[in-house]
Chains A and B, each alone.
Chain A
């Protein structure tokens, strides 16, 4: 499906008639609609939706038609008694041109809407058949994928945490890919098979063997349907457990910070313990020194005493030598005075006054001499020695105390850091992390038991199928049954089985296709080498496939946005030959690098993409550079006043 043209008349922001051509070449498939918020970008998307489905919505709330009509047209024009709006949308598909025109008028009799669809300019298709044609190309239930905006983003975000939303999206995607049509075919074939079977049973009611087989067949089919329904329950249980495990693992991963904190806390605890051990070693050394030197508290006094005692003893000894000398001199001089001869050389010496004076002086000196009691001092010295008073012990305990204090300060600092980590851990709720681990274990058990149940049911169903096949064969070979009826019965049986298998294979194939497209798109936009692609999970939700092979959840809004773009493009490329997307404000929550990547992806996606952007989202030079020559058309949306805007085609390119 390829949009070709849109004509709006008095629709929302557009007063009077405005025409927008969507026709672009395959080489330049991008259309830019540039306009500020509230100027009428979304009005164009609403016009397309309203024309296709007869209604449109904003944030999942339907907008009544009287609010879609241009305000000037409905109120401001006195000459217009009957306000009216219309939209004409033209698209091409399967080599044909479809023109759908929708009109809404207020008459005296009340509001009135009408729609006309012409194929290749032919006669109008009956109005009641229009939804059929529209749904064939763009089913309403999946329209929002093509009108890509924040709403879609919300729904995808929802899928991560809300199983109901996930199921809803899964159904929509399956609708888009026509899987229900195949399912309907299987059901129809089964009903036809049953019809034939009843006819055969009726025809061969006389045949006891057939009658018995018929009864057994009914029972086997009933048994099978019970197993199927029970298996569905188990599958649901499995999917629920898996979804909850994913959510909880996410929580656990969020708690990776907790792991860091725990490791930092443990490291600090280790540091604290080793500091404590070192401090204890020093305390032990100190204890030994104190044990051998209990006098340490009195050390200052005792060391001073020791010092003074030593010096006093020394002084006393010197004094004693001095006194001895003087005594000798006195003895000599006294002898000289007595014998008038020198006691040393024996010669006669005259005794003079000088000698007398010296003797007098020495006698005076010796009389004045008072010396300390050396014996007493020596005893004191002996006591101090016995008490082992020494300055080295004091220095040692002082140094040890200094080291102990230093370790104490380091321990206090480590304690502070440790407390901070413990506080942070409390914020994260460490208990919670442990609870999560327990819950994951319990859920794993649920998941495993559901998986085993599923396997059991599959076996039982296969057994039933074998039994049913045997009974069917007996029934179809029954006597008195028209061979043509038997053949029809067998054919419907084969066909329904075949189509059932086709459905499974098709669903898997398209899922793989969507996944491949989505992964390619994701990888072309996202720049982080740690990612390997996307994985579409059971519920068509999206998981991240990492380079190391493990599966991760979407974590940031940016990742969510890029994944959504990737999934939508994958779906559209899978479901349509000429897919289109109208992307409203596509760059919100993306950084500059990813905006560039989205543009480059758009330029090479093979999709017809219309970007609706406001000035906050783009820089003209950059957009031009990123999209290169892929821009087919540029429209600028300009506001005339609060009730009227106009859309102007840019001439000469962007």
Chain B
């Protein structure tokens, strides 16, 4: 169904976002930069972060050009499917995903700078009321 939508072959990431990915990888909790990037998308969604960046950070000089399928559609960690599940329209999955990732990465950076353990941010706590 998403095949019908024209999507870019590659995705870009901002220099700042790339730096944050590097730092997140340094915590040891992520396989690679893309893993951190993917997680950031869901952090932004989980935290209901406002999806209103003034401008598209990926339009600035970029650090990486990643294969879109590798980031969003890998079998086994299909980000696009999860985005569709939470109501993102097929036409928007990549553009929205990119914005969410950049916002999520900045949020994670702010947590790291306050010495918060990243695992406390990315893993939802046990529901004590359950």
Please report A residues at the B interface, Cβ cutoff 8 Å.
Answer: 280, 283, 286-288, 290-302, 305, 380, 383-389, 394, 397-398, 401, 404-405
Cβ of B74 to closest chain A Cβ, rounded Å: 9
Pick the residue among A287, A290, A301 that contacts B46 (CB under 8 A).
Answer: A301
Q: Which of B76-130 contact A (CB under 8 A)?
A: 76-79, 81-82, 84-86, 119, 121-124, 126-127
Residue pairs across A and B with CB atoms within 8 Å: the count is: 96
* CB <8 Å contact, B28 and A287: yes
Pick the residue among B35, B42, B126 that contacts A298 (CB under 8 A).
Answer: B42
Is B45 interfacial (CB-CB < 8 Å)?
yes
Pick the residue among A283, A288, A398 that contacts B123 (CB under 8 A).
Answer: A398
Q: Given A294-B77, A297-B45, A305–B85 Cβ distance below 8 Å? A: yes
Q: Given A383-B84, A386-B78, A298–B30 Cβ distance below 8 Å? A: no
Cβ of B83 to closest chain A Cβ, rounded Å: 8
Q: Whole-angstrom distance between the alpha carbons of A590 and B24 in the complex?
A: 67
What would 9 more interface pairs be, CB under 8 Å, given A292-B76, A299-B124?
Answer: A293-B77, A294-B41, A294-B42, A297-B45, A297-B123, A302-B82, A387-B85, A388-B78, A389-B82
Q: Given A287-B29, A301-B46, A383–B123 Cβ distance below 8 Å? A: no
Query: Which B residues lie within 8 Å of A296 (CB)?
Result: 39, 42, 122-124
Q: Whole-angstrom distance between the alpha carbons of A305 and B122 in the complex?
A: 19
What band does the interface of chain B fall in when counting residues whose beta carbon is under 8 Å from A?
Answer: 20 to 34
Q: Which 8 A-B pairs have the closest CB atoms?
A: A386-B81, A387-B82, A294-B38, A383-B85, A297-B42, A387-B81, A298-B42, A297-B46
Please report B residues at the A interface, Cβ cutoff 8 Å.
Answer: 28-31, 35, 38-39, 41-43, 45-46, 76-79, 81-82, 84-86, 119, 121-124, 126-127
The residue on A at minimum CB distance from B45 is A298
Pick the residue among A283, A388, A405 that contacts B77 (CB under 8 A).
Answer: A388
Q: Whole-angstrom distance between the alpha carbons of A236 and B124 in the complex?
A: 79
* CB <8 Å contact, A294 and B123: no
Query: Which A residues lie within 8 Å of B85 (CB)?
Result: 302, 305, 380, 383-384, 387, 389
Query: Which B residues lie within 8 Å of A288 (CB)?
Result: 31
The residue on A at minimum CB distance from B79 is A294
Query: Which A residues lie within 8 Å of B43 (CB)?
Result: 297
The residue on A at minimum CB distance from B38 is A294
Q: Whole-angstrom distance between the alpha carbons of A290 and B38 in the complex?
A: 10
* CB <8 Å contact, A298 and B86: yes
Q: Given A290-B39, A297-B124, A388-B77, A401–B31 Cβ distance below 8 Å? A: no
Cβ of B25 to closest chain A Cβ, rounded Å: 10
Q: Whole-angstrom distance between the alpha carbons of A291 and B35 in the complex?
A: 6
Query: Which A residues lie within 8 Å of B46 (CB)?
Result: 297-298, 300-301
Query: Which B residues lie within 8 Å of A401 (CB)?
Result: 119, 123
Cβ of A183 to closest chain B Cβ, rounded Å: 80
Query: Which A residues lie within 8 Å of B123 (CB)?
Result: 296-297, 397-398, 401
Pick the residue among B30, B31, B82 that contacts A295 (CB under 8 A).
Answer: B82
Between A295, A389, A404, the greatest number of chain B beta carbons within 10 A of the residue's beta carbon is seen for A295
Cβ of A373 to closest chain B Cβ, rounded Å: 15
Q: Whole-angstrom distance between the alpha carbons of A294 and B124 in the complex?
A: 13
* CB <8 Å contact, B28 and A297: no
Q: Whole-angstrom distance between the alpha carbons of A401 and B123 in the complex?
A: 8
Q: Whole-angstrom distance between the alpha carbons of A292 and B82 in the complex?
A: 13
Query: Which A residues lie within 8 Å of B122 (CB)?
Result: 290, 296-297
* CB <8 Å contact, A383 and B81: yes
Query: Which A residues lie within 8 Å of B121 (CB)?
Result: 297
Cβ of A565 to closest chain B Cβ, rounded Å: 65
Cβ of A148 to closest chain B Cβ, rounded Å: 69
Cβ of A396 to closest chain B Cβ, rounded Å: 10
Query: Which B residues lie within 8 Å of A292 (CB)?
Result: 76-77
Cβ of B105 to closest chain A Cβ, rounded Å: 12
